[in-house]
Amino acid sequence: MSVKVIKPGLLTTVQDLGRPGYFHLGIPMGGAMDRLAMRSANLLVGNDEGAAGLEAVFMGPELEFTQDALVAVTGADMPIFVDEVEQPGWTAIAVKAGQRLGFGFLRSGARAYIAISGGIDTPPALGSRSTYAIGALGGVEGRAIAVEDELPIGRASGKGRAGASVPQALRRGPGSPAELRMLPGLYWHRITEAAQKGFFEDEWAVAPEADRMGYRFRNGRPLEFVEREQPFGAGSDPSNIVDGCYPYGSVQVPGGTEPIVLHRDAVSGGGYFMIGTVISADMDLIGQLQPHTPVKFVKVDMDAALAARAERAALMQRIREAVG
């Protein structure tokens, strides 16, 4: 079976949980920016958590089904319609052959995840169906979906049941101001104590340059550098380093002005210093931030990062139990 793309939305890509293992060649893991939402959508329709679905940014696509299927939409909150009838989010919905799935205007969050029973069955590239548009890899010919694409769908497990739902208390979206917990490190020593303090005091806002590669933030004070003679090969700006690796979630600040948090389609390295890394538990949240959202960075230590990670894993486990 397949699903026909009537309208693609703004930027809708096929994503699963990514292709770890090639970052040393500059090919990032990719995959859903909000992994909890992607996993939840898959569970609702009876798929493996790592099946491929769609990630739709700010605006949903319109899809026509050629066979009966279960679908679930999680993540960003936008009205969901099957033909003209509004449907609940975070819930398995039965769709009949010939019906269309469509969306209204975004209410909150940034990325909706659409799972279809059987999963999207485009050819895997390096072990994943995730679309990495910069490298023209995965998904539909390495690009976002377009009008008249026919998305192949795999065989449904039959485990999903219409009406299954993730309880309200277990759904996650961003607060306002959103809080991103960061473990200082990497080149944290390159900025003055006053700048270190100021970074956490300031209220930042998501800049328009926010995509799968990274999220840029503005409105905070410029960071003041500790003076030094630049090392050979680094470049003359105080924010330059000898090109090195970038962790996922690392916070680089080119020129000391606007921090950029690297996300699932991160560049694997480069010549800008980094002041720390957003903890793994808060990465999903970034994918749901709209431009202009106020954001505070919150300083944490490793114990707090690991506790947050365990809490996130426990939440996912509760979703599995609630849906299963």
With 0-12 / 13-18 / 19 or more C-beta atoms within 10 angstroms meaning exposed / middle / buried, residue 231 is exposed
Cα-based distances in Å from 319 to 79, 94, 107, 161: 22, 20, 23, 15
CB of 308 to another protein, least distance (A): 8
**Spatial separation of the C-alpha atoms in residues 9 and 206, rounded to whole Å:** 22
CB nearer to another protein: give 229 or 321: 229
CB of 263 to another protein, least distance (A): 13
H or E segment to which residue 304 belongs: helix 302-323
Contact between residue 47 and residue 69 where contact means Cβ atoms under 8 Å apart: no
CB nearer to another protein: give 137 or 164: 137
CB nearer to another protein: give 93 or 144: 144
294-299 vs 178-184, strand pairing mode: parallel
Residues binding another protein (CB under 8 A): 20-21, 23-27, 125, 134-137, 142, 183, 185-186, 188, 231-237, 240-245, 247-250, 267-271, 274, 276-280, 302, 305-306, 309, 313
CB of 129 to another protein, least distance (A): 13
CB nearer to another protein: give 104 or 231: 231
CB of 225 to another protein, least distance (A): 14
CB of 73 to another protein, least distance (A): 29
CB nearer to another protein: give 143 or 296: 143
Provide the terminal-to-terminal Cα distance of the chain, rounded to the nearest Å: 25
